[in-house]
Amino acid sequence: MSLRVAVVGCGTVGSQVVRLLTTQVEDLSARVGDRLELVGVADLNREAVIAQGVDPALVTDDAADLVTRADIVVELIGGAEPARRFMLAAMASGASVVTANKALLAADGPTLYDAAAAAGVDLYYEAAVAGAIPVVRVVREGMHGDQVKRVLGIVNGTTNYVLDTMASSDLDLERAVKDAQRLGYAEADPTADVEGHDAAAKAALLASMAFHSRVCLADVSCEGIGGVTADDVAWAARTGHVVKLLAVAERLDAGISVRVHPALVPLTHPLASVRGALNAVFIEAEHAGPIMLYGQGAGGEPTASAVVSDVVSAARNRVTGGQGPRESAYANVPVLPPEAAVSRFQVRMDVADRTGVLAKISAALADADVSIESVRQNPSPGPRGLAHLVITTHGATEAARVATIAALERLDVVDTVVSVLRVEGDML
């Protein structure tokens, strides 16, 4: 008896998965303890798959049929339908499922988790978060002797590449995105990356795993990097920071805060040194202290490595009679509204260049109950005789921050609030 593996969806990642399952079959079978057999590859474009060199006898365009003939189904179509339908059909006919489908898991994970539990099969999704980095395995299975307090992730390689390029080459956002597109780090339509939607889906999955709760994409407050200017990036460096798009999942007393936004990260923080299109996840746990995982978060081959690792885990469970992790949402902690999140923030503004200005501004912050950590004043480069004021605050709720900015904008001494960025990465 061998273990039948079916691959549904044969694009960039799928074709690499098929290649690994074919060329590494001896080694993988040794790890499983039984023979892995690729029984079929389903794709609507049969010709393209055959042109990649896949045995034509294995290639079908009938995924609905294929998924009922396998012990392990690898879903790599992406998106909601028909991916969900095929996964549910696979589980209903007793197959374990391996997927990289972060969008579907973030939007409608519970349907899939419940179906897997009901069918008594495994659902693995290492490749859905940060590609080759085994963050799902670590957060889902490795931290369960501990309480995770916060997860900070650089989980979108495109935006990290763009921000890193802005910092190192002094480019504005638009030109850095073009650069990323030219080098293949950004899609022709970069919206999902730049606006943070991709990172938000991963944030939902990280929060669900870290806090044993069910957090959906709709629970994640999301702000992309569209508003980050070359000036923001330059001022970040001047104040000892670097701008990163962070996925934040945080356990507060009242519940969970899950959000994606650009943030100033202190240069001394390990996440600050994550360059280019790399990904990293920084996990702060009650007893283990901080742990960081770092590596390639995308790309066909790294992602395929994570998928095949899941196939081996699912196959080993078949052989040993074991069971992969289940999404037990026993903690069921409420997800807090965005206003509840607490961050330090840095506000840059052009102000009148005369005495008494700082007193008025300090009073406005004090009125909003926001405490100032540091102030830096520079002559503003413009012709209007203004000063450029950079204020970094202590922790404040998002509500207090919004109120503060509104109050500052009403002050006659404030010409323009140029930029407001959260500061993240203080050690808990």
List residues with catalytic annotation: 202
Candidate list 253, 330, 356, 381; residue touching its own copies; CB under 8 A: 330
Candidate list 22, 53, 94, 144; residue touching its own copies; CB under 8 A: 144
Q: Does 34 bind its own copies (CB under 8 A)?
A: no
Which is nearest to 18 in space by CA: 6, 34, 30?
6
Q: Does 273 bind its own copies (CB under 8 A)?
A: yes
Please say whether the beta carbons of 236 and 147 come within 8 A. Answer: no
Q: Does 289 bind its own copies (CB under 8 A)?
A: yes
What's the rounded Cα separation, in Å, for the pair 353 and 379? 8
Least distance from its own copies to the Cβ atom of residue 315, Å = 10
Task: For its own copies, give the closer residue by CB, 321 or 383.
Answer: 321
Bridge-partner residues for 391, per DSSP? Answer: 347, 375
Q: Does 308 bind its own copies (CB under 8 A)?
A: yes
Longest CA pairwise span in the chain (Å): 84
> x/- contact string, 156-185, with its own copies (CB under 8 A)?
------------------------------
Q: Does 27 bind its own copies (CB under 8 A)?
A: yes
Residue 172 identity (one-letter amino acid): D
Q: Which sign, positive or negative, has the C-alpha torsion 165, 167, 171, 174?
A: positive
Q: Does 305 bind its own copies (CB under 8 A)?
A: yes
Count of positions (residues) in the chain: 428
Q: Distance of CA 99 to CAs 64, 129, 308, 333, Å?
A: 16, 11, 10, 26
Q: Does 311 bind its own copies (CB under 8 A)?
A: yes
Q: Does 312 bind its own copies (CB under 8 A)?
A: yes
Q: Which of residues 7-26 bind its own copies (CB under 8 A)?
A: 16, 20, 24
Q: Does 155 bind its own copies (CB under 8 A)?
A: no
Q: Does 141 bind its own copies (CB under 8 A)?
A: yes
**Do strands 72-75 and 221-222 pair parallel, antiparallel, or not at all (unpaired)?**
unpaired
Determine how many CB atoms are found less than 10 A away from the CB of residue 287: 8
Which is nearest to 34 in space by CA: 87, 80, 72?
72
Q: Which of residues 112-131 bind its own copies (CB under 8 A)?
A: 126
Candidate list 51, 81, 253, 287; residue touching its own copies; CB under 8 A: 287
Residue 144 identity (one-letter amino acid): H
Task: For its own copies, give the closer residue by CB, 54 or 365.
Answer: 54
What's the rounded Cα separation, in Å, for the pair 221 and 204? 10
Please say whether the beta carbons of 401 and 350 come within 8 A. Answer: no
What's the rounded Cα separation, in Å, for the pair 164 and 171? 10
Least distance from its own copies to the Cβ atom of residue 33, Å = 7
Candidate list 15, 159, 165, 309; residue touching its own copies; CB under 8 A: 309
Candidate list 78, 82, 255, 270; residue touching its own copies; CB under 8 A: 270
Q: Is the peptide bond before 302 cis (omega within 30 degrees of 0)?
A: no
Q: Does 146 bind its own copies (CB under 8 A)?
A: yes
Candidate list 12, 22, 33, 218; residue touching its own copies; CB under 8 A: 33
- Total number of residues that touch its own copies (CB under 8 A): 59
Residue bearing tokens 């044993």:
212
What's the rounded Cα separation, in Å, for the pair 152 and 259? 10
What's the rounded Cα separation, in Å, for the pair 289 and 309? 27
Task: For its own copies, give the closer residue by CB, 133 or 233.
Answer: 133
Q: Does 101 bind its own copies (CB under 8 A)?
A: no
Candidate list 51, 184, 321, 355; residue touching its own copies; CB under 8 A: 321
Please say whether the beta carbons of 103 and 218 come within 8 A. Answer: no
What residue ranges bind its own copies (CB under 8 A)? 16, 20, 24, 27-28, 30-31, 33, 126, 132-134, 137-138, 141-147, 212, 270, 273, 285-296, 299, 301-302, 304-313, 316-317, 320-323, 325, 328, 330-331
